[in-house]
Chain A
Amino acid sequence: MMRKISAVLVVVFFGLVFSSLAINFTERQSLRPLAESYVKLVPQDLGAPNVITGILLTYRGFDTLGEVAALFMAAAAVGLLLGTSDKGRGGSPAELSERPKPSSEIVQSGAQILVPLISIFAAYIIMNGHRSAGGGFQGGAVIASSVLLLVLASPRYRVDLDFFSMTESAAGVIFVLVGIAGLIFAGGFLDSRVLPIGQFGAFISAGAIPILSVLLGVKVGCELSVIVDRFRA
C-alpha cells in the first residue's frame, strides 16, 4: 500500500513537471540558427540531399562512432551474460533430446521468400542514405531483422559468430581509417570530403558519405545479429 502511494506521488510529481513543460511549449516558426546552417551547409558543402545523414556521418561523425562503440559494448555484455550458458550445449544426451522443434512449413517457406527480399531492401536503405530517407543505422536494423527471421525459421541454423565479429571489426577499422583520411586530406576527423563530391543527388556522390554509410550499416547489422543470436533458447 505504502509503495503504491509513493508511486502515485512520484508519477503525479513528474506529471506536474511535464505539464508545465507542455503548457509552456510553443511550436517553432523557424529553424534555430544551428539547424539552419546545417540545412544550408549539408547540401552545399557535402553534396548530400539528406541533411540528417550528413549530420550523422560528417558533422557529428565522432558521436556516431561513439554510439557504435556503445552498441558494441551492449553486444559484448549480452555475450558475456548469455554466452557461457551456451557452452557444453549438445554435449549431454539429455540436452540433445530437447533440441528445438523445427518451425512450421509456413514460417520456413515465408523465410525462404522474405530473407533475400529483406536483405535487398536493407542494401537499398543503406546505399540511399545520402539521397533519401535511410542510412546505416536503419539498414543495419533491417539486416538484423532478416537474421532474426532466419533464426526463427530454422532453429538449427547457427550464426557464424566468428565471421560476424571479423566483419564487424573490419568495418569498424575501415570507418576509423576513413576518419583519419579526413584528418589528413580534408578538414578534420571523419570529414567526408576526402572523395570528390560529384553530381548532387547522384547515386555515387557526397564524397565518403556512402562508404561510411555502408560501413556503419555492416557494423550495426553484425552487432544486432550477434545480439539476436545470443537470445536463442
Chain B
Amino acid sequence: MTSGVVLVTGLALILIGMWGLLTHRNILRIVIAFSLMGTGTHIMIVATGYVTNGTAPIIDRALTLSEAPARAVDPIPSALVVTAIVIGLAVTAVMLAYAIRLYQSKKTLSIDSFTESKW
C-alpha cells in the first residue's frame, strides 16, 4: 500500500516532467522538466524495492542479523538510485552548461530561435 502511493507519485512526476518537456519553449524550463522526470524515476525505482513492513537494510540494534532477511527492504534499488542521483546532478550540470553556451550565442533561451539543426 505505502509503496503503491510512492510509485504513483513517481509516475505522476514523470508525466509532469514529460508535459513540461513537450510544452515549454524556454531551455531552463526544459532542464527543470528533465530533472523532474529523473526524480520521478528515482522515486519509482525505490518504491519497487519496498517490502511490506520493511526497514532500511542496515544491521544494528534495531535490526539483528538473523531477522534481517525477513524485515529489510530490497537494497539493490537503493544502491542503484544513490549513484543515479549523483549522475543526475552531473547531467543537469552539463545541460545547464549547454544552456549558458546557447544563450551566449543567440542572447535568448527560447528553443524556437535555435533552428540550425531543425528538420
A contacts, CB < 8 Å to B:
3-4, 6-7, 10-11, 14-15, 18-19, 21-22, 25, 27-32, 34-36, 38-40, 42-44, 49-52, 55-56, 60, 63-64, 67, 70-71, 74-75, 77-78, 81-82, 85, 132-133, 135, 137-138, 140-141, 200-201, 220, 223-224, 227, 230-231
Q: How many A-B residue pairs have CB under 8 A?
A: 154
Query: Chain A interface mostly helix, strand, loop or mixed?
Result: helix
Interface centre among A4, A34, A137 (most CB of B within 10 A): A137
With A30-B51, A137-B86 as known contacts, state yes or no: A55 contacts B76, CB within 8 Å: yes
Contact A49 B51 (CB under 8 A): no
Chain A residues, Cβ within 8 Å of B91: 74
The reply to whether the CB of B28 lies closer than 8 angstroms to some CB of chain A is no
Chain A residues, Cβ within 8 Å of B100: 81-82, 231
With A51-B75, A52-B79 as known contacts, state yes or no: A11 contacts B18, CB within 8 Å: yes
Contact B52 A10 (CB under 8 A): no
Contact A82 B75 (CB under 8 A): no
19 A-B pairs besides A27-B51, A63-B83, A70-B90 with CB distance below 8 A are: A11-B22, A25-B4, A25-B48, A27-B4, A28-B51, A35-B74, A44-B65, A50-B58, A51-B72, A52-B57, A52-B79, A52-B82, A56-B79, A74-B87, A75-B90, A78-B93, A140-B86, A141-B89, A230-B97
Task: List residues of B (3-22) whose CB comes within 8 Å of A's CBs.
Answer: 3-4, 7-8, 11, 14-15, 18-19, 22
Minimal beta-carbon separation of B17 from chain A (angstroms): 10
Minimal beta-carbon separation of A42 from chain B (angstroms): 8
Contact A7 B23 (CB under 8 A): yes
Contact A35 B101 (CB under 8 A): no
Contact A132 B58 (CB under 8 A): yes
Contact A31 B51 (CB under 8 A): yes
Contact B97 A78 (CB under 8 A): yes
Chain B residues, Cβ within 8 Å of A21: 11
Chain B residues bordering chain A, tally (CB within 8 A):
49
Query: Chain B interface mostly helix, strand, loop or mixed?
Result: helix
Give the nearest-CB partner of A53 in chain B. B79
Chain B residues, Cβ within 8 Å of A78: 93-94, 97
- Cross-chain contact of B90 among A14, A25, A28, A227 (Cβ < 8 A): A227
The reply to whether the CB of B39 lies closer than 8 angstroms to some CB of chain A is no
Contact B82 A74 (CB under 8 A): no
Interface string of B66-108 (1 = CB under 8 A from A): 0011101011101100110111011101101110110010000
